[in-house]
Amino acid sequence: MSNSTTAFLLLGFSDTWEQNVLYFILLSVIYLSALTANFLVISVVSLDQHLHIPMYFFLVNLSIIDLGSISAIIPNAMINTLLNTWQISYYGCVAQVFSLLFFLSSDLFLLTGMAYDRYVAICYPLQYETVMDRKVCIRMATSAWVAGLLYSGLHTSSTFVINFCSNIINQFFCEVPQLLKISCDNLYLVEFGVVVFSAFIGFTCFGLISLSYVHIFMSVLRIPTTEGRNKAFSTCVPHLTVFSLFLSTGSFAYLKPSSQSSSDLDLVFAILYSVVPPLMNPVIYTMRNRDIKAAVWKMFQCGISSGRKAQFHCHNLLKNKECSLPKVH
């Protein structure tokens, strides 16, 4: 079809209306759950002044990225499932690839910056506020977003300069490995370049994070008290879990040879790296973080109150560690 392709046909989940309705309900539940969880994290951190520290600043950025990555594919898949139409325009496919790569690569760069934040907090606690001041945090977050933008632009442009022999994408959204499968050009050279460049970015970030945690673990082991070691580990476990989940699922999807994978396997990997992390990241951080859980509980307490008096108490509640709410009659 060369570059005259005007539209692509995505692979649907099913050809029957009944099954598509079930998939639509499932996608709706997943999407709404991810939206609720990530918006909750953003709201809690923004409203609670005790959480206005670098670690939670990066967590808010991570939640924004998760919202963007899941919104890049799930709403379109929900509409296609409900209407039983799986056609996407050429430029719609370009936009989807660019958006997904932008948020995924920004996620990786941000997780690398979060590892450095944990390294400074645990290895140099006395200099933490000086090293990780407001300007440094903003620069690190901005660098992650800009690097993601550049990587996405480069990757997307190199993907869509190839010629396509077919317009049928064996996936429920536009994905680089599946686009390479329908290429008319020398697939080996294109695929090799994509894999090498992506692997370089991934392993560089992996190496930096691993180096940070080597120093972190060495510092933690030198902490004399068990309570101190447990507290230090508790701040690192969520980040390590999120990074491991992201890197493992993304590596399987993008670093495997695209010509040697089955459709069912591709679908599983696509769901794992595009849907599971945005849904699980806020859960992981909430379950392992006492400050977040305490702040969420404060918001729920505010939710059971009403009126101006309650608003005044809620304002105090978010500023103070303890605040008695008025009784609702």
Q: Tens digits of per-residue pLDDT, 217-236? A: 888 888 777 777 777 777 77
Looking at the domain assignment, is residue 18 inside a domain?
yes
Residue 73: what residue type?
I
Q: Which residue has the higher pLDDT, 320 or 126?
A: 126
- Tell whether 283 and 299 lie within a shared domain: no
- Tell whether 203 and 314 lie within a shared domain: no
Looking at the domain assignment, is residue 234 inside a domain?
yes
Q: According to DSSP H, which parts of the chain are helical?
A: 17-47, 54-71, 74-83, 90-123, 128-131, 134-159, 176-181, 187-221, 226-254, 263-274, 276-287, 290-303, 307-319
Asked if 66 and 34 touch (Cβ cutoff 8 Å), the reply is yes
- Tell whether 252 and 305 lie within a shared domain: no
pLDDT of 267 strictly over 90: no
State residue 316's pLDDT score: 55
- Give the torsion sign (CA, 175, 26, 289, 68): positive
Domain span holding position 265: 7-288
Looking at the domain assignment, is residue 82 inside a domain?
yes
Q: What distance lies between CA 255 and its chain's CA centroid?
A: 18
- Tell whether 300 and 188 lie within a shared domain: no
* Residues near 305 by beta carbon (within 8 Å), at least 6 away in sequence: 313, 314, 325, 326, 328
- Tell whether 236 and 91 lie within a shared domain: yes
- Tell whether 296 and 148 lie within a shared domain: no
- Tell whether 198 and 299 lie within a shared domain: no
Closest CA to 276 of 251, 234, 252, 242: 242
Q: Provide the domain count of the chain.
A: 2
- Tell whether 45 and 77 lie within a shared domain: yes
Question: What average pLDDT does range 31-55 have in this prediction?
Answer: 87
Q: Mean pLDDT for the chain?
A: 79
The residue length of the chain stands at 329
d(CA 78, CA 27) in angstroms, rounded, equals 6
* 186 CB neighbour count, 10 Å cutoff: 10
Residue 281: what residue type?
N
- Tell whether 260 and 326 lie within a shared domain: no
pTM beyond 0.85, yes or no: no
| C-alpha pair distances (Å), 102 with each of 6, 70, 109, 110, 294 | 23, 12, 11, 12, 33
- Tell whether 25 and 165 lie within a shared domain: yes
Structure tokens at 268: 């599983």
- Tell whether 301 and 282 lie within a shared domain: no
Q: Which residue has the higher pLDDT, 169 or 300?
A: 169
State residue 60's pLDDT score: 92
State residue 213's pLDDT score: 86
Looking at the domain assignment, is residue 1 inside a domain?
no
Q: Which residue has the higher pLDDT, 35 or 51?
A: 35
Looking at the domain assignment, is residue 220 inside a domain?
yes
- Tell whether 194 and 311 lie within a shared domain: no
State residue 324's pLDDT score: 36
Of 216-220, 254-258, 304-308, which one has max mean pLDDT?
A: 216-220
Domain of 22: which CATH number?
1.20.1070.10
Q: Which residue has the higher pLDDT, 280 or 57?
A: 57
Looking at the domain assignment, is residue 255 inside a domain?
yes
Looking at the domain assignment, is residue 2 inside a domain?
no
